[in-house]
Each structure stands twice: as C-alpha cells, then as structure tokens.
Amino acid sequence: MRIALCGGTGDIGKGLALRWAKDTDHDLLVGSRNPEKAREAVEEYEDELDRHGIEASISGFANGMAADRADIALLCVPAYHLVDTIESIADRLEETILVSPAVGMQREEGGFQYNRPSAGSVTALAASAAPEDVPVIGAFHSLAAGKLANLDTEIEADTLVVGDDEEAKGTVSDLAAGIDGLRALDAGSIANAAPVESLTPLLINLAQYNRDLSDVGVRFE
C-alpha cells in the first residue's frame, strides 16, 4: 500500500513514517508544501532507520504529488492548515482515503483546551472540505509523536477511529494495526469525532503536570 503523509515533515508525520517503515512494507511518501523540505526529512528518517538496520521504501515529494500516488493520504498538519492542505491536493485524491489526526486546541492559563470548530469536529471540517467522493477518516489523534519516533521504545496504545465509510474505516484500522503494539478501536461515525479529538489536550495536560507521563497514551481495557 502507498501511504502519503502530507505535511509529513512534522512530529506526527515523522513518528508514523518511522513506525510504518519499521513494522510494515508499505511505500511511504513524505509530503510537504516545499518538496526540498520533504526530501531533507526523508534523508533524516532514512538515517534513523539505518541506525536500526531497517530498509524501507520512503520518498519525498510536494504534497500534491505524494497524494496523487497514494492509496491513503494522512493530513499531518495543524488544524488551522487542514482546509488549505485539502484544497491544495483535492484534484489528486481519486480513489484515495483521506485521514485526519488533527485536533483543534488552544492554550489557556491552566493548560490546553479542546477548540471545537463550527463544523463540530476537525474530522467533520476535513470531510466538508474534501471532494464528495473521498472518504474521510479520523484516527491517530492521541498518539505521543515523540514515542512513535523513538524506535527503541515499544508502543502499547489504542487509537480511536471514526468515519462514515465502513470500508475505509476498516482499511485505516488495518493500517494502524500494522504498527506493533498499536490497537485500532472503532469509535463510530464522524458524529463521534469531537470527544475522540478532545482526548488529546487532556493527555498533553497530563504530560505537563506529571513528569513520568511525558509520552502518555491511552489504552482501553
């Protein structure tokens, strides 16, 4: 499977790219608005993989070119860049599943708070911006990017997956489960995305106030 990580030069893009390179044989396409930045990130990721004796198929492109070649495109960008990014790649998304891990947050005096957009959730915002025939799935919201990128650590976490297209949701769940130690749980339709997304600021606040929880995630038992 070909996976595009649009905006994949940031923390979550790096972490997911390294884990899929380590644990799967997917072709990974790191995207950026600046293709040179994408290629530089790929060199960094390849150096890290080489240190662990891992060979993988990973390339860098402009976001549109990465999405054009992909079966699944992840929007590894902040929520405030989400719509712009979708619009920039919309004509490249034929037969592509679009995945949003973005969360709207704002920092207040006591910590981070969920900033719910008028669409109801960031995933719903992505769905409203995407072409009508492109399925949009929300996933990977509450993963600790630093822990993902540290290949010397084991992952033991869940990711909640929301979406209105059951087949696409299953494909993304299988993709998530390809990462060793990551379990995908079906959290229903996009209508349920807001409480799923709101877990992320909670986890950041826990990490802020508890030093031993710097890479905290969630696991449901």
Rounded to 10 degrees, what is the CA torsion of 169, 175, 178, 181?
A: -50
Return all residues near 118 (Cβ < 8 A) that are at least 6 apart.
none
Per-residue pLDDT tens digits for 172-210 = 999 999 999 999 999 999 999 999 999 999 999 998 899
Q: Looking at domain 2-213, which of 3.40.50.800, 3.40.430.10, 3.40.50.720, 3.30.450.20 is its CATH number?
A: 3.40.50.720
Q: Strand 58-62 to strand 27-32: parallel, antiparallel, or no bridges (unpaired)? A: parallel
Is the pLDDT confidence value at 140 over 90? yes
- Mean pLDDT throughout 82-101? 96
Tell me the pLDDT band of 69, cut-offs 50, 70 and 90.
Answer: confident
Is the pLDDT confidence value at 119 over 80? yes
In whole angstroms, give the CA distance from residue 12 to residue 20.
12
Residue 16: per-residue pLDDT: 98
